[in-house]
Amino acid sequence: MNQMQEKACPIIANHIKIALVGQPNVGKSMLINSVSNAHLHVGNFSGVTVDKTEVLFDYKNYHFTVVDLPGTYAFTDYTIEERVTHDYLCAESYDLIINVVDSTNLEKNLQLTSELMSMSKRVVIALNMSDEADKEGVVINAEYMSELLGIPCVKVSAVTKTGIEELLDAVVSVSEQETQESKLIFSEPVEEEISTIVDYLTKHKYKAVNSYRNVAINLLKNNKKTYAKLHDDPIWIELQPILIEASKHIELHHDSDDIKESFAEEYASFNRGIIAEVLKQEVIEEKKTLTEKIDKTLIHSIFGIPIFLFFMWSLFQLTFEIGSIPMDWIDAFFSWFGDTIGATIPNEDVRSLVVDGVIAGVGAVILFVPNIIILFIGIALLESTGYMSRVAFLLDGFFHKFGMHGQSFIPLVTGFGCSIPAYMSARILKNDRDRLLTLFIIGFMSCGARLPVYVLFAGAFFAPEMAGNILFAIYISGAMIGLVAAKVLKLTAFKGADEPFVMEMPKYRLPSAKLIWHTVLTKTMMYLKKAGTFIAAASMLIWFLSNYPHNLMIEEEYATKIEMALSKDAKTDLANEQAVAHLEQSYLGKIGKFSVPIFEPLGFDWKMSVALQTGLAAKEVVVSTLGVLYALGDNVNEEDNSLKTAISKNIPFASAVAFIVVIMIYLPCLAASIVFTREAGGIRYFFYLLAFTSIAAYSLAFIAYNVTLMLT
């Protein structure tokens, strides 16, 4: 009925919505690119944390919407990907499923297929990588397979772009058919129990959306939603004993106390039957595959780790060496842009808001785009070649000691450059708890923006030849504190049994340039869009706090003083003095003074307190704030000798040490905090991070301050 109405409606009549499902590493994304060759646009909408991509295109007289769901091995809800995919398939509306399978590993892939078959949805199977299968001597009889499964199976290859039209034709023809009962057959005891339940449901004329067989299978598989539905029905009282009896029977048959395990075995034996019928492996002599040869070197028990460290070092170098080249251009562009726009705005307040607030703030975010692009290309390469899994394999032993996962390494190293891409790259961790723990630790890896502060203080208190070692010591101790913090968090907040580490080591593949381009582009656009809008707003807030309220008394006083001043230097000095006076009575200054009692035990004066707080906006700002506050003008940098002198004169050594400790540990900058909040999946995690970093920074700085006082 419903079907007929849909067909009568001209708007959605030739619109087909497809859910693209498959196990990881079967070339789904590659297939979607080949299918929608001239795709109109790629929209990216995020789920909780992992994204599903939607692609729109036309073929013949049909509009296609393809939803590319994250790869999933089975419906176990184990990883976020599996949850996103499972929820989508169960709850959203779509016309049919394309199940992409890897022809070279059919039996394994059919595991998911058989679960899809028991969902009573229309399915088309794309036997992908058929070119590779040919090479490996795997022959699949697609027609016979279609017949046995009652599902059209089409041989395709995303790489050579063969079979794409046949696949779309199959999709069109299936979308016009009624949903068919799947031909999935279980062993005799299970079939027996299914028919008992079906008989019972028929007798009581139970109203169900899906077929009784489907309801029966779901009940036997302990599907929670089906249970919830039937639980409120009066027939439940009689049905329950039947179900208990049935489960016992099946478990006895499988010699197991786990019904899900029993069903997995049922599926596996059905799949073995299908494989025996449709697949022929032409005998080729046993030789080492390329993957095995490469693995001999790359995961070698001695050379594996040095090789990996070399790769990481190269990526790190590339990111921050090449990335810094366009950074200067972007910086120059934004200051030019700010000046140009500023010149067109007559009102001083509005101009300051636009130029110093919005343009400067957004510019600071865009500044990191080159780094992010290079890093994302690197990560996409590591991931798509299959090397990432090897890294996790090699490092898991070490990281596990600190309660982390082998794959945590990548985000942590990235954190030395900039926390923002680091938070984003933590997505490679599939398990929620591992990912959250890693997100909390990333901040301990001192990012590039904190370097100027370290350089300034190391230069102010140590001889030039020592400064380099001090810098290195700061970085290393940050990382060590991070590992200890991970262990502490693991023993407290993230307490619980260790997450198991079971992971596929995919075949090595040459990455596709198109796919990498696509991934990097969408991720970069997301960074720009989301971080950009938040940053613009936040920059305005900081600008407001440091500029208001205006104090006319100060302005007038200094205006006359400056006019009276004789030399040019005296004028600049007075202008700087005015800036300090102004900042001191601004909201930000008031906050700084207000917080002095809090920071007193660490030996900070109000100027240091304010500098720390402006550092919440961006760590680079700490240096320029100190410059303003020590009345040197805000055009200072870490190389500036006058600022170094001012700091070594005005700040006691113990306070400086405590200051560095706080800078090392406290909350990452605003942009990073926003990204953190999004990646962690909720504002409450931001408050956890705030509490965690503040307590850690404060207590460690307190210890550092007092120890230094005692020693000096």
The torsion angle over the Cα atoms of residues 422, 427, 430 and 431, rounded to 10 degrees, is 60
Interface with other proteins (CB under 8 A), residue from 306, 397, 601, 682: 397
Q: Provide the pairing of β-strand 279-281 with 41-46.
A: unpaired
Where is 143: in which H helix or E strand? helix 142-149
490 contacts: CB under 8 Å, gap ≥ 6: 402, 403, 404, 437
Task: Enter the tokens of residue 77.
Answer: 């809800």
Q: Residue 610: enclosing H or E segment and its boundaries?
A: helix 606-614
DSSP state of 698: H
The span from the first CA to the last CA of the chain, in angstroms, equals 86
Q: Which of 76, 160, 297, 699 touches other proteins by CB under 8 A?
A: 76
CA–CA separation, 233 and 13 (whole Å): 36
Min separation Cβ 255 and other proteins, Å: 8
Nearer to other proteins, 16 or 110 (CB): 110
Is 78 a residue that touches other proteins (CB under 8 A)? yes
Quick note: the x/- pattern for other proteins over 324-363, rule CB under 8 A, is ----------------------------------------
H or E stretch at 553: helix 552-564
Phi, psi of 123 (to 5 degrees): -130, 140
x/- map, 588-627, other proteins, by CB under 8 A: ----------------------------------------
Residue type for 38, please?
A
Shortest gap between Cβ of 100 and other proteins (angstroms)?
16
> Is position 107 an interface residue for other proteins (rule: CB under 8 A)?
yes
Q: Which of 163, 304, 378, 452 binds other proteins (CB under 8 A)?
A: 304
Q: Which is nearer to other proteins, 483 or 651 (CB)?
A: 483
Our finding on whether 73 is near other proteins (CB under 8 A) is yes
> Binding residue for other proteins (CB under 8 A) from 42, 56, 74, 235?
74
Contact residue for other proteins among 394, 531, 583, 626 (CB under 8 A): 394
**CA–CA dist 712, 453 (Å, integer):** 23
Choose between 234 and 500: whose C-beta lies nearer to other proteins.
500
Q: Candidates 84-92, 125-133, 240-248, 296-304: pick the segment binding other proteins (CB under 8 A).
A: 296-304
Question: Helices 653-665 and 464-491: crossing angle, nearest 10°?
Answer: 50
For other proteins, what does the binding mask look like between residues 470 and 499, x meaning CB under 8 A? ----------------------------x-
- For residues 312 and 169, the answer to whether their CB atoms sit within 8 Å is no
Among 131, 295, 383, 679, which residue interacts with other proteins (rule: CB under 8 A)? 295
500 binds other proteins (CB under 8 A): yes
Instruction: Note whether 291 binds other proteins by CB under 8 A.
Output: yes
Report how many residues bind other proteins under the rule CB under 8 A.
40
Which residues have C-beta within 8 Å of that of residue 218, sequence separation ≥ 6? 118, 225, 226
* Residue 71 interacting with other proteins (CB under 8 A): no
Strands laid side by side in the 153-155 sheet: 41-46, 51-59, 62-68, 15-22, 96-102, 123-128, 153-155
Q: Which span (60-68, 72-80, 139-147, 374-382) binds other proteins, by CB under 8 A?
A: 72-80
CB of 415 to other proteins, least distance (A): 24
Which residue, 124, 136, 108, is CA-closest to 164?
A: 124
Where do contacts with other proteins occur on this chain (CB under 8 A)? 73-74, 76, 78, 104-105, 107-108, 111, 256, 258, 260-261, 264-265, 268, 291-292, 295, 299, 301-302, 304-305, 389, 392-394, 396-397, 400, 406, 498, 500-506
